[in-house]
Amino acid sequence: MTGAPPNAPVEAVAFDYGGVLTAPVKESIAAWLEADGIEPQAFSRTLKAWLSRSAADGTPIHRLETGELTVEEFDALLAAELTTIDGRPVDPVGVLSRLFAGMRPDPAMFALVEELRALGVRVALLSNSWGNTYPRKRIDALFDPVVISGEVGLRKPLAPVYELTLERLGVPAERTLFLDDAEPNVLGARAVGMQAHLHVDAPSTRAALAALVPGLGPTPNGVPA
């Protein structure tokens, strides 16, 4: 389900981090798999298994996202599930650091955040943490609130983390738009009454927002497409 949010003005926008404010995470993952010689199917199989279970199952990803597992513990568990193309064991030290090494901020999305702030729209960050390092000085200066799963012990797509974000924003759910690149997280936001948009790239997300935020053009600075 990739449709744009309903055509109603919004007072606040909550942004995911990885894959929304950055280049697609899959690009960083692909570079890591190639650099470390990891069998892609082994990673895909593990990722699917650890993401598809309910929160009650306490998968390593869920436990990492809520801060119950340390990065080092997760690195060891993930490395044990992976195989390399040439049969070497996967080095467990720094697995997540290498996985996220290629993730870079998307200048167009950060510029969009700045424009929204200038228009008086509240902006929040709501991110599931995989132990990746956030540019805290930059995001703390831009977003209020900053809600990171490992710091609050709650994770998307479960309702409590959206409700906490809304409480800290002080904006009604129906007047808040959530942006994420993962469909389950978009659906989770809609389940608590938020508007939500599945992010694919900066131009399409900006176009969706332009219909909801007075004064925001479909292209930066109102330049015609």
Write out the two tokens for 174. Answer: 């129906």
Distance between CA atoms of residues 193 and 162, nearest Å = 10
- In this prediction, residue 133 carries a pLDDT of 80
120-136 burial, b at 16+ Cβ within 10 Å, e below that, comes to ebbbbbbbbbbbbebee
Q: What is the mean pLDDT of residues 135-149?
A: 96
- In this prediction, residue 218 carries a pLDDT of 82
- In this prediction, residue 95 carries a pLDDT of 95
Spatial CA neighbour of 72 closest among 88, 96, 103, 46: 96
Measured in whole angstroms, how far is the alpha carbon of residue 26 from the centre of its chain?
Answer: 12
Q: What is the DSSP string of 2-42?
A: -PPPPS---SEEEE-STTTTBS-HHHHHHHHHHHHTB-HHH
Domain definitions of the chain by residue range: 12-23+105-222, 25-99
Look at 7 and 110; give whichever has higher pLDDT: 110
- In this prediction, residue 3 carries a pLDDT of 41
Is 111 a residue whose pLDDT tops 80? Answer: yes
Is 54 a residue whose pLDDT tops 80? Answer: no
Distance between CA atoms of residues 135 and 177, nearest Å = 23
- Over residues 177-217, the pLDDT tens digits come to 999 999 999 999 999 999 999 999 999 999 999 999 999 98
Computed from CA positions of residues 98, 101, 102, 106, in that sequence, does the dihedral angle turn out positive or negative?
positive
Write out the two tokens for 88. Answer: 């070497």
- Tell me the pLDDT of the chain averaged across its residues: 91
Q: Is CATH 2.40.30.10 what the domain over 12-23+105-222 is classified as, yes or no?
A: no
Q: What is the mean pLDDT of residues 64-85?
A: 95
225 confidence band (pLDDT: 50, 70, 90) = very low
55 confidence band (pLDDT: 50, 70, 90) = very low
Q: Which 3 state secondary structure label does DSSP give 192?
A: coil
Structure pTM? 0.90
